[in-house]
Structure 1
Amino acid sequence: MRSHITGLDHVIIAVRDLDAAAETFRTLGFTLTSRGSHAEWGTANYCVMFDSDYLELLAAAGEGGPADRVRAFTAQREGLMGLVFATENAEADCLRLGVEAPGNLSRAVATAQGATMARFKAAPLPPDTTPGVGSFLCQHLTPEILRQPGWTEHANGARAVASVTALVADPIGLMPAWDSLIGPAASTATDETVTIHTGKGLVFLCRPEDLDQLHPEADEEEPPAPPAMVAMTIKVADTEAAARVLNANGVAFSRDAAGTIRIAPSEACGIFIEMITSS
């Protein structure tokens, strides 16, 4: 059976205080959506929307299994908790992967015409499906609702998620599982680091001792023990313009000779963020 996965849909960032995290991301130059909630899961969110993917700031707000998992994660740390892969047919992909059928999910979205329900089919993937990374499948049933006027316009010029990096003990050994998810030869190895080509956005798997080769300065603040997602690279229209926004907002960051912006986890809800000029 063929894969219906089209790439990264969004990145889940688990936080303890949702409104405080939203203010942190506004300071980084991102525009946030209205606050949403998932009645079925007991969670609440703000999103940072790009044209074809997005970031989700997620917090526990009520009762439910997903809320309990967010609480368990944030009891240890804030940061990158999961990846969500877009699928054009969630039921077919779940059948192909031999996992439980997707469930229905919804959340209210504020629009100029009033609150409207965005609807999805979503399925959590077992740990052995995407080893080293917690993940979900998501099929959008109402994609037009999620991108309201102005929501994809960011002061820092952000356009898309370029990549997410996870620390794992044995990147090479995880390649077959990822190829089964995405498709044949989706993962490639360079020395001990694995690059997963999702179709839209990259996932890097690396050993802790190799993190600074992918992301110089990322290990200056002690990263969590593997398996853990620790870094995210965002494409922006112009790193010079993004740097001016960060300076104006009092955000500490560094830049290299190529202009790449690096923001420490202490400034970004536990995530090492890089900003690069989109090509």
Structure 2
Amino acid sequence: MANNINGLDHAVIAVRDLTIADAAFHRLGFTLTPRGEHPEWGTANHCIMFRQDYIALQAAVGAGEVADELRAFTDAHEGLHGISLGTDNGAAVIERLQSLGLDVPLPRSLSRRIDTDQGQATLMFSETLLPMEATPGIHTRVTQHITAERERFPDWLVHPNGAIGIASVTAIVAEPVELTAAWDLVLGPHRAVITDDTVTLHTGRGLIFLSKPDDLTQLHPEAELDELPPAPALVALAVLVADTDRAAQWLTHNDVEFSRDREGTIRIPPSEACGVHLEMVKG
């Protein structure tokens, strides 16, 4: 992959209360990790782990710049707050992006303390927040997992709904086509594909869709346009599942509101998923 970026690493859902969010996503059929703490950021999370990517439910719990940012976000609404692109060499990514003329800061160390069956573990990461002009419309970090071997216990990868990974995230922006040059700089040439006024970004693992607000229902037919946050904003997340029938059975058992189309895609409203338009698609 260009610029040492491997693809979509994780998506962050900002929530006000981790206990409530944990219960909501358990009800949707996801297995969540124990609570982890980021002392450098003043935040905490539960993660939904897949083999190559994951979803983080994140909340502000203390003092810190990132915690303040999350609080400002959740004062308005819960929902998708940002994404992270994965790499095996964060320093190389930054050096490459800087050589392309982007004002990208040096990577910073981040830790997450988490309780496991083997005791407390400290997971280490290298994180860099990209400037908005680099990935316009989407709050984006680059993440290198320093202790990747400690992050995926087998039990964490088994989800009752059969989820196996992230398929895509969708953002609403004013003019998607105008953003393609910036994203191609970060992801590599020709990674942005234009279809009418919608842009598909091929990250190498997972897709990013950029849509005008009024065009969102072309991608997500049941999205409530009058309930969308102001653009730019991340609004939808699609998860790959092994069997959509199995996922539907779990949701029905738990009295979750959802719909299905003729291809079997499951659509869950934001009221059931902490402000996210959540879809489950055949993996």
Q: Same fold (TM over 0.5)?
A: yes
The structural deviation recorded for 1:220 is: 5.9
Alignment match of 1:168 (pick from 169, 173, 177): 173
Counterpart of 1:183, as a letter, is G
Alignment match of 1:185 (pick from 190, 199, 210): 190
For 2:226 and 2:105, the matched residues in 1 are separated by 38
For 1:152 and 1:220, the matched residues in 2 are separated by 34
Counterpart of 2:164, as a letter, is R
Alignment match of 1:236 (pick from 232, 241, 246): 241
The structural deviation recorded for 1:223 is: 1.2
Contact 1:109 1:146 in 2 (8 A): no
Structure 1 match to 2:35 = 35
For 1:152 and 1:60, the matched residues in 2 are separated by 25
Structure 2 match to 1:209 = 214
The reply to whether residue 247 of structure 1 matches residue 252 of structure 2 is yes
For 2:141 and 2:243, the matched residues in 1 are separated by 31
Where 2:57 maps in the other structure, the secondary structure is strand
Structure 2 match to 1:275 = 280
Instruction: Kindly provide the CA deviation profile for residues 118-175 of structure 1, in whole angstroms up to 9, marking residues without a partner as x.
Output: 1010011111110000010000011111111300100000001000000000100000
Give the TM-score normalised by structure 2.
0.96
Deviates more, 1:193-202 or 1:121-130: 121-130
The reply to whether residue 14 of structure 1 matches residue 11 of structure 2 is no
For 2:47 and 2:118, the matched residues in 1 are separated by 20
Where 1:235 maps in the other structure, the secondary structure is strand
For 2:154 and 2:200, the matched residues in 1 are separated by 34
The reply to whether residue 226 of structure 1 matches residue 235 of structure 2 is no
For 1:62 and 1:109, the matched residues in 2 are separated by 16
Contact 2:213 2:225 in 1 (8 A): no
Counterpart of 1:166, as a letter, is A
Where 2:20 maps in the other structure, the secondary structure is helix
The structural deviation recorded for 1:219 is: 2.3
Structure 1 match to 2:262 = 257
Where 2:40 maps in the other structure, the secondary structure is coil
Instruction: Kindly provide the CA deviation profile for residues 185-239 of structure 1, in whole angstroms up to 9, marking residues without a partner as x.
Output: 1111000000000000000000011101011101266211210111111100101
Structure 2 match to 1:127 = 132
Change (3 A) 1:17 1:23: same
For 1:220 and 1:230, the matched residues in 2 are separated by 11
The number of aligned residues is 277
Where 2:123 maps in the other structure, the secondary structure is strand
Where 1:3 maps in the other structure, the secondary structure is helix
Deviates more, 1:216-225 or 1:235-244: 216-225
For 1:201 and 1:138, the matched residues in 2 are separated by 15
For 2:186 and 2:237, the matched residues in 1 are separated by 21
Structure 2 match to 1:63 = 63
The reply to whether residue 145 of structure 1 matches residue 150 of structure 2 is yes
Where 1:245 maps in the other structure, the secondary structure is helix
Where 2:96 maps in the other structure, the secondary structure is helix
Contact 1:109 1:145 in 2 (8 A): no
Give the TM-score normalised by structure 1.
0.97
Counterpart of 2:105, as a letter, is E
More helix by share: 2
Change (3 A) 1:154 1:221: farther
Where 1:185 maps in the other structure, the secondary structure is coil
Contact 1:9 1:84 in 2 (8 A): yes
Counterpart of 2:31, as a letter, is T
For 1:159 and 1:149, the matched residues in 2 are separated by 13
Deviates more, 1:199-208 or 1:220-229: 220-229
Contact 1:111 1:148 in 2 (8 A): no
For 1:257 and 1:144, the matched residues in 2 are separated by 40
Contact 2:3 2:97 in 1 (8 A): no
Structure 1 match to 2:121 = 116
Contact 2:214 2:225 in 1 (8 A): no
Where 1:120 maps in the other structure, the secondary structure is strand
Give 4+ residue runs of structure 1 displaced > 3 Å after superposition.
none
Counterpart of 1:43, as a letter, is T
